A and B are shown apart, each in its own frame.
Chain A
Amino acid sequence: MRGGGPDIPTLSPACSSEPMALQSIDHPPDDGAALLAVTHASKSYHGVPALIDAALELRSGEVHALIGENGAGKSTLIKLLAGVLSPDSIEIRVRGRLMQFHHAQDAFDAGLRFIHQELNTIPTLSVAENIFLSQPYPTRAGLFVRWRTLNQRAADVLARLGVHHISPRQIMARLSPGDQMLVKIASAFVGDSITSAGDSTAWVYVMDEPTAALTGQEAAMLFDVIQRLRRRGCAILYVSHRLDEIFEIADRVTVMRDGRVVTTAAIEDTTPADLIRLMTGRDLQQVYPARDPGTTAGERLLLDVQGLTTHAIRDVSFHLREGEILGIAGLSGSGRTELLRALMGADRVLGGTLRLSRAGRLQKLSPAEAWRHGIAYVPEERRSQGLILSRSVSDNITLPHLRDLARGPFFLNHQRERETSQMLGKAVRLQARSVEQITRQLSGGNQQKTVFARALVRSPQILLLDEPTRGVDVGAKYDIYTLIRQISARGTGIIMVSSELPELLGMCDRILVMREGRVIGAVKAGDVTEEQLLALCYGEIPHANQLTTD
């Protein structure tokens, strides 16, 4: 048992010296035993209930998915489990024993581990330093860090996750977001063996949207780890907005809505449509709203790009028509985000031309110029790139359009700003106390809707969307898809980057495939399957007839 004393080695010698003992002892899982049972969990904030008499049971050797829209109470439940929030009422039993979690340490000692969605690593430190951040570093004479040992241990932890391409000495900031996430996940396994039971006290892993920033390949690595934990008899509580993932790895699923647990079911007894209906309380005919009959992409050219080159993309040429939704597919690091940044003038353009139907050829593009020419942008990271979190919803919506809404060239028109924000907030189905609410206090989905509302203030000519539904719940996703359809029906040309291929196939007219900074092909969305599109992203060129040169 973990005693909590600093003298107890946090990484057992057996697993630090033999990281490759992966295939060794798989203890027969103690199937069906409840490792953790939560009942009567309730919590309200300022009299507003966020969690009402919720119950959850995690069995040994199961992957238990927890789903629900933003604000359904998932985060509150997890925070109560983590001991970082004090409940109004709760009963927690760990292996049948009643326990109370007053502090994060209590949950840790009881064998619970948490992997949170937001990246909280220190970008200037090395990978190894980040992995062991919450642990005492190995030292000589209690003073001098034994760097070689530290790096070796970090490499071992990564290797146990099946990650071999990240060096422990690498500086965190230089890693891709996906790799950073893997490092963060690795840090949750420090001190716990994931290969053999007995030398570890961690039994329950709670993962809050761990794959949000991961590519398919990276996610596969994580799923592999999850399977090993499962075979060892651990329980995994897995929170995700991606239903396909849940059907891939989960054994049971618990659905929450409006602070209550709606149901818990075995995964084979349910379907995605069931889950969506349970989460939203309404039937969704389909995940992707269809184009309104009669509206097709127009003929008029909005944008013509020739040979666009920046530090991250090379010689990119394409065009965009009125009302068209153009998807950009590619692996992370393929240059898809950087293409949007180049169009927005956010990165320095090294070569190529950009021609707008209205304004003609653009000489020197900057974000300010782009907005002025009717190019609107929803960036990839809403918190770091999209929002001024310390300011109100209204301030965020009107930011690029202040001149248009102003009294004369200089003076703010508060009344007009408020009316515009309210109207757009309604159009994107934003849920906030008022448009004066500080955006920091909004849920992820409503923050994303705020960024969307900003892009729509003056019906844009061209709308650039980078991962428009990342970290957004199913209901809000549907709202956003509907919105995208409405905008395109009005003639706006939309360029949409997404790592969710079904989303691209469901929403786009054409899809450009990028790889290593270049466009390697363009396909009509109806002509390819998801597998074929993925193969393209990996650089495997399928039959020529699937590639339209258009």
Chain B
Amino acid sequence: MIRYTIARFFSLIISLIVASLVIFLVIEVIPGDPASFMLGINAREDTLAALRSEMGLDQPLTLRYFDWVIGMFQGDFGNSWTYKTPVSELIADRIWVSLPLAIYALILSTLIAFPAGIVAASRRGGASDVTIMGATQMGVAIPNFWFAMIMVLIFAINLRWFSAGGFPGWSNPLQGLKSLTLPAISLALPQAAILARIMRSSLLDMLLEDFIRTARAKGLTRSQALWRHAVRNALIPVLTIIGLQFSFLLAGGIIIEQIFFLPGLGRLIFQAISARDLIVVESVVMLLVFTVIMVNFAVDITYAIVDPRLRRKS
């Protein structure tokens, strides 16, 4: 177990290094002179010089890269050119919308998908299976931003149960949660559909395994065999998908935030793109990628808990 964790940890570090290099190259090297790129052709020479020194463009590339990385370790992401404030503050404000939204959606998606997948697998070919599979087939095909628009139309505009957008902050947690509910549902449902389908097919694969027959020969009923033996084994492939989904939820959140006017990382990054504020884009992208890599690391470690074959072998 320790050996496995350490091996995973090493690959985590390498992934982070390579990812940061890729982002650094795309943002700071490919445009040539990022400062003149950011300011456009009509920029005044003194503003340009100010931005260059702000970004440290007078220094060699390697030094800039290390400054950037070390800065991030200390919580210093540089200063936003358009907002004139530290990027870390901008991120700190908005991450409290984006992260809860992604987690909220992940919880919803799992809560919907697990029971749906298990019921469908255990009643394979039955009416509930056909209904659930039909629903997931639709769920997989619905673009989440369109689904969000329809939900706004129904629940915000017509029924007036929720507000159509905006975020009141966390001073009243219930209000905050309520305003994230429609966004979270529209993010979660398509992912839940995918997860339910994978849960079902993974379970059906497990039900064909010999050890299920052994369990039945012991006297377990069909559903006992499913719950006691198939579910835990079926979780192994499902976990991978949950890990991948978190990155989709985080990225998908960027779009959903646009629809619901949520002041999250998505809004920040779009404003930064249109203002050509590369410093913000670079930091937010790095943060997103960092989160995804960390989640995948966590999934890998969870594997070892679920599957004893990955633990230390004697």
Question: Is B one of A's binding partners?
Answer: no
Q: Which residues of A contact B (CB under 8 A)?
A: none
Q: Which residues of B contact A (CB under 8 A)?
A: none
